[in-house]
Structure 1
Amino acid sequence: MTAPVRFPRFFVTNPSPCPYLPGKSERKVFTELNGPHTDELNDALGRIGFRRSQNVAYRPSCLDCKACISVRVISDEFKPNTTQRKLIKRNQDLVVQACEPWATEEQFALLQKYLSKRHPGGGMTEMDEMDYSDMVEQSPVKSFVVEYREPTEDGSKGALVGACLTDQQGDGLSMIYSFFDADHPDRVGLGNYIIMDHIMRARKAGLPYVYLGYWVEGSPRMNYKVRFRPLERLGPDGWLRFTPEK
């Protein structure tokens, strides 16, 4: 008798410099996502802290550090604070659409602008259009690109100011990668708004969680993730609520 789901084979990368904590090295364990039960496998791995990149699921497996912690927002209980309510009101005129996962020149141009502003010198700045197409389109699971556009008076397609590659898992939305116009004079905080829009989308769809990836205590680049509460983190005893110290 053949088992309905073959147990995945896992591999480990060689150590490399950590992009979040100076002086640390990172190592990842990963497996390929393929076969007829890929969605179920991705869901199961997501619940134990894996993230997806194209057709691979991975999570940190560092030898001397456990700073990377998986976090997720409880969508149904999220209540925006005063600053977040103002941010929602400021951006409620944006035209938001969940699109099929097809890469466009407009998206890639926005990504390049975002990376040059927020992550200059980072590894992703070397991506070309083919690399971006692979990131978006090589998805073996249910994915979409949520686009955020400026409104127009005639209803035509407005300028793209934000986008997020998102997976829909069985218990929530997993934000794979988001990018936006970080220089827009009237859209300060757009990245935070994209997260809140995903929380509202998950709530409307009856999905209990929004997965934000890894939070790294001590890394300023990751501080924004703890602004969305209630928040759960994955530890030895499973997913538990926590309130990070300010």
Structure 2
Amino acid sequence: MRHSLPLAPQFYVTAPQPCPYLEDRMERKLFTALQGDQAQVLNDSLSKQGFRRSQNVLYRPSCSDCNACMSARISVNDFKPSRSQKRVIKRNTQFERRATSPWATDEQYELFRSYLDNRHADGGMADMDIFEFAAMIEETPIRSRVIEYIDRETDQLAATCLTDMFDDGLSMVYSFFDPAYTRASLGTWMILDHIEIARESGLPYVYLGYWVPGSEKMGYKAQFDALEIYRNGSWEPLGDPEGYEDDLHPLSSDPIAEQVAKISFPDGRG
């Protein structure tokens, strides 16, 4: 028998651990469970307030050292590709998009391992086995799809993205690709194609996760036109990426209780 959770759920905070984006910083996350009949509604609501999904958990950075991690999304109707992005689109006509249910395959895992070993061998996911990979793909309480990109010339899987479907857009939860395609810029290509999918579906946004000023690892997101960030309780255009030094200050983050009190829920509470 399925059960419904209240739309004002319990929130928890992780223990501090080293930040994966900025040196000499400590990271904490504010998180809550995502399950029950109202999971999709809650996910849609909190994702618009800077939260991200990982399996059946919604989380948002809640660090005491800074407020640098800001949720980022592209405004589809306002987006115009740069010259280099137009070249990426033109260069990658060999790839065919296939949308499937969130079900993990051996071929996906082999591609995932190749991607990690070449790009993120020292990252937090480096030791993920096939069962953990399957959980990442399959344990979703909301509308999700796996978008695969097949090389028509070889009929081989070249790239994959786990994508959540919101009421106002698409969220790229995690993407990976064959590192052998060095000229294809497949990371950029997948974002550009998700913009096209959203446009075809009449959805106004593509959510990219967090943009972090001062982090080279996350700097590529600022290269996309019409990028918006969630900052101080509202969405705003990114503007100058160099103008966010205040968010790196140790006093820029509100106390946990204040952060939770400002969260809005689908039933009007918050």
Query: How far off is 1:5 after superposition?
Result: 4.0
Q: Equivalent residue of 1:115, what SS?
A: helix
For the residues of structure 1 that align with 2:43 and 2:7, how far apart are their CA atoms? 13
**Mapping of 1:1-246 within 5 angstroms?**
5-152=6-153, 158-185=155-182, 187-245=183-241
Using the TM superposition, give the Cα deviation of residue 29 of structure 1 relative to its aligned residue in structure 2, in angstroms. 0.6
Offset from partner CA, 1:121-162 (integer Å, 9 cap, x none): 11101000000000000000000110001104xxxx810110
1:230–1:126 CA distance, 2 compared to 1 (3 A): same
Q: How high is the sequence identity, in percent, across the aligned residues?
A: 49
For 1:9-47, what per-residue CA distance to the aligned partner results, in whole angstroms no more than 9, with x for missing partners? 111100001011110000001000011111000000100
Aligned-residue Cα RMSD (Å) equals: 1.5
**Offset, 1:236:** 1.4
Structure 2 residue runs of 5 or longer lacking an equivalent are 243-270
Distance 1:46 1:35 in 2: 17
Mapped partners of 2:18, 2:233: distance in 1: 29
The total of aligned residue pairs comes to 239
Asked if structure 2 preserves the Cα contact closer than 8 Å seen for 1:182 and 1:188, the reply is no
Q: What is the SS of the residue equivalent to 2:125?
A: helix
What's the secondary structure of 2:184's corresponding residue? coil
CA contact (8 A) 2:92 2:184 kept: no
CA distance in 1, matches of 2:159, 2:63: 33
- TM-score (normalizing by structure 1): 0.94
C-alpha spacing 1:228/1:182, structure 2 compared with 1 (3 Å): same
SS of the residue aligned with 1:125?
A: coil
- Is the alpha carbon distance of 1:125 and 1:49 closer, same or farther for their aligned partners in structure 2, counting shifts above 3 Å? same
Query: What is the alpha-carbon distance in structure 1 between the residues aligned to residue 5 and residue 106 of structure 2?
Result: 40
Q: Given that residues 16 and 26 in structure 1 are in contact (C-alpha distance below 8 angstroms), is that contact kept between their aligned partners in structure 2?
A: yes
